[in-house]
């Protein structure tokens, strides 16, 4: 797909870990409340609908990039020219940066509410950004390896849902299909934020060896995410009734409180600490991809772009001061992501077909190593 040396590329199967790592972040700690507002106990259906729709979007993204033989920066340049294409790429990078800020600031809020209420946002932000920088400067291979580590570190946490099932009320799911189609679609829109992140493949796909072979792994990663969200929704819905769920902001964290282990009395503390291995790969993939995009767009050294990005994210994180603003940030990013995925990606797909471009000989093919 690109003129990138093989020693800077990663294996196709890494798409599985990078896709699911980006999708499973802080959202899974409390998304049940939001989707249950409109679809109630039928919200699990929306999780399936969202997962299947996102597989269609993954297919579209692979088709768009393979036709141009480029990343999204090259696709924009080939389809719309230098100036319009550059503007579209800039706006997309702004959106990707906002998703990094959303994940970072939401995780900081979790730390402040549940563990260190007196610890200031600047200190936590500085520590997390410092950790992220130490990995991102190592390149895409280090970041991909971190996503594998995060994947396996988080798996034991899902086994702890067994404790909630001891007090399950399976009748909470009845009656099934009790909500209208419009309610289910509204809940599907609400679950968008939880599936966001996979679209960064628009930037890092050229760094996957044999990109065409990585597509099946990207689909499997998305399906694994869907399965994970389904299990999470199932456990929360059988433990909480709908009224309780509407007053539970962090459902998964609340369930961790009932975990009874002989060596850990307040397991939610350990769970939040372990969740760092999920969040860190999430923001590292974002930082690497966006800094790479800035390098491609403006010919700035990637390390310089990374440092500038982190400074801006640091300032923005401090400016978000309370729970209400964090909630607004999550809502706005989710809305923007919804339209980018369900409107802009199909728009690019159709425009590419209409213009008849995509012979793989455009300017987008000329990418430098990174």
pLDDT tens digits for 109-167?
A: 999 999 999 999 999 999 999 999 999 999 999 999 999 999 999 888 888 888 888 88
**CB count in 10 Å sphere of residue 351:** 14
**Among 331, 50, 2, 312, residue whose Cα is nearest residue 198:** 50
Neighbours of 180 (CB within 10 A): 12
Distance CA 3, CA 296 (A): 13
Q: How confident is the model at residue 358 (pLDDT cuts 50, 70, 90)?
A: low
State percent of the chain over pLDDT 90.
Answer: 64
**Which sign does the torsion angle of CA 217, 221, 224, 230 carry?**
negative
Dihedral over Cα of 152, 156, 159, 164: its sign: negative
Quickly list H helices, 240-366.
242-246, 251-256, 267-274, 276-298, 302-319, 323-339, 345-355
In this structure, what token pair is assigned to residue 34? 């939001």
Q: Which two tokens stand for residue 191?
A: 């679950």
Confidence category of residue 260, pLDDT binned at 50, 70, 90: confident
Confidence band for 207, pLDDT divided at 50, 70 and 90: very high
The enclosing H or E element of 128 equals helix 121-136
Report the pLDDT value the prediction gives residue 329, as an integer from 0 to 100: 94
CA dihedral 134, 140, 146, 150 (to 10 degrees): 130
pTM, two decimal places: 0.91
What lies within 8 Å, CB to CB, of 23 at 6+ separation is 194, 195, 196, 197, 198, 221, 222, 225
354 — phi, psi (to 5°)?
-65, -45
Q: Identify which has the larger pLDDT, 5 or 112.
A: 112
- CA neighbor of 289 nearest in space, from 200, 195, 369, 214: 200
Q: Reply yes or no on whether the pLDDT at 365 is more than 60.
A: no
Q: What is the pLDDT of residues 337-355, one digit of tens each?
A: 999 999 999 999 999 998 8
Find tokens 């999708």 and name the residue: 23
Picking from 99, 88, 130, 119, the residue whose alpha carbon sits closest to that of residue 25 is: 99
Q: What residue segments make up the domains of the chain, in order of their start? A: 12-366
What are 264's strand-pairing partners?
261
User: What H or E segment, with its residue span, contains residue 229?
Assistant: helix 211-239
- Percentage of the chain modeled with pLDDT above 70: 95
pLDDT at 1 over 60: no
How would CATH label the architecture of 12-366? Up-down Bundle (1.20)
pLDDT above 90 for 264: no
Tell me the per-residue pLDDT of 284-341, one tens digit each, with 9 for 90 and over. Answer: 999 999 999 999 999 999 999 999 999 999 999 999 988 899 999 998 999 999 999 9
- Phi/psi for 241 (5° steps) reads -85, 175
User: What pLDDT shows up at residue 357?
Assistant: 61
Cβ pair 92, 339 in contact under 8 A: no
Please give the pLDDT value at position 263.
66
Least confident window among 62-76, 92-106, 251-265, 321-335? 251-265
Q: Would you say 178 and 40 are in contact if contact means Cβ atoms under 8 Å apart?
A: yes
């Amino acid at each position: 797909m690109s003129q990138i040396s093989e020693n800077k590329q990663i294996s196709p199967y890494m798409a599985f870990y990078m896709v699911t790592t980006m999708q499973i972040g802080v959202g899974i700690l409390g998304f049940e409340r939001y989707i249950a507002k409109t679809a109630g106990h039928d919200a699990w259906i929306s999780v399936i609908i969202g997962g299947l729709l996102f597989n269609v979007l993954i297919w579209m993204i692979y088709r768009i990039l393979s036709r141009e033989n480029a990343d999204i920066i090259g696709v924009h340049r080939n389809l719309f020219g230098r100036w319009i294409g550059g503007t579209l790429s800039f706006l997309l990078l702004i959106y990707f940066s906002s998703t990094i800020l959303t994940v970072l600031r939401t995780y900081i809020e979790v730390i402040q509410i549940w563990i260190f209420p007196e610890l200031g946002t600047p200190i936590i932000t500085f520590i997390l950004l410092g950790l992220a920088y130490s990995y991102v400067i190592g390149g895409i291979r280090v970041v991909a390896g971190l996503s594998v580590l995060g994947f396996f570190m988080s798996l034991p946490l899902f086994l702890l849902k067994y404790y909630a099932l001891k007090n399950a009320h399976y009748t909470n799911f009845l009656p099934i299909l009790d909500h209208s189609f419009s309610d289910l679609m509204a809940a599907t829109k609400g679950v968008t934020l939880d599936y966001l992140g996979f679209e960064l493949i628009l930037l890092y796909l050229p760094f996957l060896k044999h990109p065409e072979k990585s597509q099946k792994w990207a689909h499997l990663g998305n399906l694994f995410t869907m399965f994970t969200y389904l299990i999470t929704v199932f456990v929360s819905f059988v433990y909480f009734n709908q009224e309780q769920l509407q007053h539970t902001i962090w459902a998964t964290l609340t369930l961790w409180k009932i975990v009874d282990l002989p060596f850990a009395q307040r397991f939610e503390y350990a769970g939040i600490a372990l969740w760092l291995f999920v969040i860190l790969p999430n923001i590292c993939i974002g930082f690497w991809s966006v800094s790479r995009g800035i390098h491609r767009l403006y010919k700035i050294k990637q390390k310089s772009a990374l440092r500038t990005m982190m400074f801006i994210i640091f300032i923005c994180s401090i400016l978000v001061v309370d729970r209400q603003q964090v909630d607004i940030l999550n809502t706005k990013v989710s809305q923007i992501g919804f339209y980018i995925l369900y409107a802009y990606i199909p728009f690019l797909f159709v425009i590419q077909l209409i213009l008849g471009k995509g012979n793989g000989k455009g300017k987008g093919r000329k990418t430098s190593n990174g």
